Amino acid sequence: MSTLIKGADLLGRGRADVLVRDGRVAEIGTLTAPAGAETVDADGLILLPGLVDLHTHLREPGREDAETVLTGTQAAAKGGYTAVCAMANSYPVADTAGVVEQVAALGRAAGYADVQPIGAVSIGLAGERLAELGAMADSAARVRIFSDDGHCVHDPRLMRRALEYVKTFGGLIAQHAEEPRLTEGAEMNEGAVSAELGLPGWPSVAEEAIVARDVLLAEYVGSRVHFCHISTARTVEIIREAKARGVDVTAEVCPHHLLLTDEAAHSYDPVFKVNPPLRTDRDVAALRAALAEGVVDAVATDHAPHAPQDKDCEWAAARPGMLGLETALSITVAALGGPEDCDWDTVAERTSRAPARIASLPGHGRDPEPGAEANLTLVDPSESWTVVPSELASLSQNTPYAGMELPVTVQATFLRGRATVLDGKLVEETE
């Protein structure tokens, strides 16, 4: 099976044709389609390495009313993703080889994106005893990232043990940084808006205190550490300083923290409730600058689908989290200056190459070059779109961007050479 991608803009290399054969890039140049090849007209489109998400809640097993591996990876493909890392807070929790293998198998059966399970750090995400990290790493799912996301690994002794353990096989702990004693009962960012609305606040220092502690722990143990969804200006400074000292630390930022602020809570619409919460203009500006600069390594969606009964209720009763997969690229481009002015190579680095490196996914995050797996995304930089929740591929509709016009569209996504999205639409038949 071969496909000729005709006349795409290849980052830094100008316009070229890319021939994909048997799942890999075969040739790049001025090419004519071989007999039997399909041709995809990529005139005016940018060819990116397929996007990689470090932080996706697929909700299966256990909450198939909110999302399934199939619908979540369909949303991923529509967003330009070729690989997603599935968070461990499913029911049952992904804390054994059996559950991570099941999630990986569901991903293969769906066929829309590679699904790399993340294993829990602690049994049942309870923060007390280490889960079977080695068994998950040795399993067919080859787990490399471990996270209790949704919860912080707040016991410093457990965190130390986890960092020491994964170091032996090149694994990574991804920390949801939240000192739980500082966020008890919290509903939104602590600041002027929470005071005005009378909602209990989630202080930024609850994140920063854990990030600072874990930088020190990782440095002491000589392990690497990754921070999920960082959300404050001060966290950026702690990470900047840690990197300058040579600590092996990486961090991700979510699209919503690059665009929205706690002012959105004035609506009392729970679609804006998320953990960590939306912060202030100052934080948004610091995160954008850190993303452009590389202090923040990657954009990760924290795609958190929720069923209507968990969101269409009053703010305090609603679960935190928002959809992300289908809007992440648009918002990243907007946050990096817009389709005309952003550096597309930085877009590729933060949404694809860096997350693929962090997740140890060598087949992903590779620019098209002969021999590389053809995990690729074609983007139209000149077309914008309006977010209509009911038109999203996700099973849930809790997007905070409903009705917003966003820049750039994903025209095609190729997973090992096979189109999962063409002409901006899902290819329904996957074999």
Question: Which active-site residues does the annotation give?
Answer: 302
* Of 40-48, 101-109, 313-321, 338-346: span binding ligand DOR (CB under 6 A): 313-321
- Residue 3's binding partner among Zn ion, ligand DOR, none (Cβ under 5 to 8 angstroms by kind) is none
- Does residue 54 belong to the site contacting ligand DOR (CB under 6 A)? no
The least CB distance from residue 322 to ligand DOR, in Å, is 7
The one among 72, 107, 270, 320 contacting ligand DOR by CB under 6 A: 320
Q: Which of residues 138-177 bind Zn ion (CB under 5 A)?
A: 149, 176
CB atoms under 10 Å from CB of 332, counted, come to: 23
Among 6, 24, 57, 311, binds ligand DOR (CB under 6 A): 57
Contact between 277 and ligand DOR by CB under 6 A: the answer reads no
How many residues contact ligand DOR, by CB under 6 A? 12
Q: Which does 57 bind (CB under 5 to 8 A by kind): ligand DOR, Zn ion, none?
A: ligand DOR
CA distance 90 to 228: 17
* By the rule CB under 6 A, 304 interacts with ligand DOR: yes
Interface with ligand DOR (CB under 6 A), residue from 73, 89, 116, 397: 89
**Taking CB within 5 to 8 Å according to partner kind, which of ligand DOR, Zn ion, none is near residue 381?**
none
Rounded Cα–Cα distance for residues 371 and 20 (Å): 10
Should residue 409 be labelled a site residue for ligand DOR when binding is judged by CB under 6 A?
Answer: no
Is the Cβ of residue 17 or residue 67 nearer to Zn ion in the bound state? 67
Decide: is 399 part of the binding site for ligand DOR (CB under 6 A): no
Q: Which of ligand DOR, Zn ion, none lies near 339, with the C-beta cut-off 5 to 8 A by kind? A: none
Binding of ligand DOR by 274 (CB under 6 A): yes
Phi–psi pair at 232, nearest 5 degrees:
-130, 155
Q: Is 201 in the site for ligand DOR (CB under 6 A)?
A: no
What minimum distance in Å lies between the beta carbon of 349 and ligand DOR? Answer: 25
Binding to ligand DOR (CB under 6 A): which residues in 168-197?
A: 176
366 binds ligand DOR (CB under 6 A): no
270: preceding bond cis by omega (within 30 degrees): no
Can you give the binding site for Zn ion, defined by CB under 5 A? 149, 176
Can you give the binding site for ligand DOR, defined by CB under 6 A? 57, 89, 149-150, 176, 274-275, 302, 304, 319-321
